[in-house]
Amino acid sequence: MDDWTEQVREQQLGFLEAAEDLDERAAEIRGRLDAAVTAGQPADGLRNELRWVTDLATSARTISRVPFLIPDEGVAVRVGGQALPLRPIASSFGDRLAELVSADSLDPLLAAERPLWSELRARLLELVTATKAPQGAALAPLSSARLPFTVGDYVDFYSSRHHAENVGKIFRPDGAALLPNYTHLPVGYHGRAGTVVVSGTDVVRPKGQRKGEHGPVFGPSVRLDIEAEVGFVCGGPVTGEVGTSAAADHVFGVVLVNDWSARDIQAWEYQPLGPFLAKSFATSVGAWITPLEALSRARVAPPAPANPLLPYLVEDTDWGLDLALRVSWNDTIVSNPPFATMLWTFAQQLAHMTVNGATVRPGDLFASGTVSGPDKHQRGSFLELSWGGQEQVELKDGSSRTFLEDGDTVVITATAPGEDGTVVGLSEVTGTVTPAA
C-alpha cells in the first residue's frame, strides 16, 4: 500500500470511527430521552440533541465517500439523502477554505488543488465529530439542477478494449477489430464542453446527415445511443507533464457520464477526423462529484498490457478502479459494465494527455470511453447490446428496442467498495429522450 492510499484510508476510517462514536452518544441520549418522556419531564432539548447527533453520524458515514455538489445555494456536501450547504458554516473553516466553500460553484475549489482538498476533508471530519452543531448548520433538500463546475475542455477516451473490439467489428467488419495503435496509447479525442449537461436534463433527439442509398439523407437520428462512462474532474491549472504517479494529485473526483451518441450520424461523418456532430449535442454528467479519496478501497490492478508500454505510460501504483456500473433502460437493467476491465487507467490517460505539453485547466473533464466488459450483459452501449441494430433488447414492459425511442429514459448508476465493507455509491446520471426539434 503506498503513502497516498495509507493517508486516505486513515481519513476514511476516521470518518467511520466518528460515526460509531456518534452512534454510541445517540444511544445514550435516546436512553435519557425515553426516561424523560416516561417521567413526563420536558424533552425538547434532548430531542434536538438526538436529531443533531444522528444527523452527524449519517454525515460521517456519507461525507467519507460522497461528495460535492451545487444545489441552489453554492457548495454543499451530500449527507444521506440531503445536502449540507457549506456557505452558512464557512466560518468553521480556515479563511482560505471559507472563501472556497462560499463560492457559487466548485470552480474555485478545483483551482485550489490537492493540499486544500485534503484540508477541507480534514475539517469536515472535525465538523462531524464536534459535540455541537456549528452556528447556521442546516440540512437542505437535495436539488441538482446545476452542473457543479464549469467544464474547461472535455476529452473522451476509448479505453475499454472490449468496447473498441465490438465497435471495430460492427463499423469495420472487413478490417481488424483493433487498430495497431490501440494497445500502445490511450486513444481519445476532444468533445464539446459547451454541451455537457447535468443529470436530469432532457436530451433532444439530434438531426443530421446519415448515409442513404443514393447519397446522404437528412433527418432525426434513427440510431440514438448511450455510452456509459466514468469521468474525471481535474484541478489546475497544470502546466508540464503530469506523470502517472502524480495524476491523483490533479484529479478532484469522479462523475458518471452518459455520452449520448447518434450512430447513424457518426458512421457517415467520422472519417477521417473522428466523431463530431454525432456526439456534440449532449453529454450528461452526474450532479455530484465523488472525491477520488472516497475510492481508495476500489483501487485494483488494471488488466496486464498486451505489449510493453512506453515508460511515460507505466504506472508504479495501480489506478484501476473496481466500479460496478449499471445501465437501466426504462426501468429494465440491461447491462452491468465492470470498470475494472478498462485497459487504460485515468492516471495513464492524464499522463498521455499532457505528455505533449498540453496544459490542464481546473474543470477539465476527461471520460473513460464506453465501459464494456467481455460478456454480452456487460456492454455499455446499445450499439453493442443490439449488435449494430441486429438484435432486439427486451425490456420488462414486454417491448423491445435496438436504439432509443422518444420518451425513453436511461439511468446509469455505479457502486464501489468502501472501507470496512461499506459501499460507495456514485451520483447517478439520467436523461430522457425528447422528440427532434
Exactly one of 162, 223, 297, 352 binds a second copy (CB under 8 A); that residue is 352
Active site residues: 163
306: contact with a second copy by CB under 8 A: no
| Lookup result for grid cell 462529484 | 289
Report the alpha-carbon distance of residue 41 to residue 97 in Å, rounded: 43
Nearer to a second copy, 80 or 200 (CB): 200
Nearer to a second copy, 93 or 366 (CB): 366
* Smallest distance, a second copy to C-beta of residue 197, A: 10
Report the alpha-carbon distance of residue 42 to residue 208 in Å, rounded: 69
Instruction: Count Cβ atoms within 10 A of the Cβ of residue 292 and give its class: 0-12 exposed, 13-18 middle, 19 or more buried.
Output: buried
Tell me, what amino acid is at 83?
A: A
Other beta carbons within 10 Å of 96? 12
| Bridge pairing between strands 324-329 and 332-335 | antiparallel
355: contact with a second copy by CB under 8 A: yes
173: contact with a second copy by CB under 8 A: no
140: contact with a second copy by CB under 8 A: no
181: contact with a second copy by CB under 8 A: yes
212: contact with a second copy by CB under 8 A: no
Report the alpha-carbon distance of residue 336 to residue 300 in Å, rounded: 18
Total residues contacting a second copy (rule CB under 8 A)?
62
359: contact with a second copy by CB under 8 A: yes
208: contact with a second copy by CB under 8 A: yes
DSSP string for 309-363: PPGGG--SS--EE--EEEEEETTEEEE--BGGG-SS-HHHHHHHHHTTS--B-TT
Exactly one of 191, 243, 291, 418 binds a second copy (CB under 8 A); that residue is 191
Exactly one of 77, 110, 226, 262 binds a second copy (CB under 8 A); that residue is 262
DSSP string for 164-204: HHHHHHHH-TTS-SS-TTTTTS--EEEE-GGGEEETT--EE
368: contact with a second copy by CB under 8 A: no
Interface residues with a second copy (CB under 8 A) are 152-153, 155, 158, 168, 171-172, 179, 181, 184-185, 187-195, 204, 206-209, 215-218, 240-241, 262, 265, 268-278, 280-282, 307, 310-312, 352-353, 355-361, 364, 437
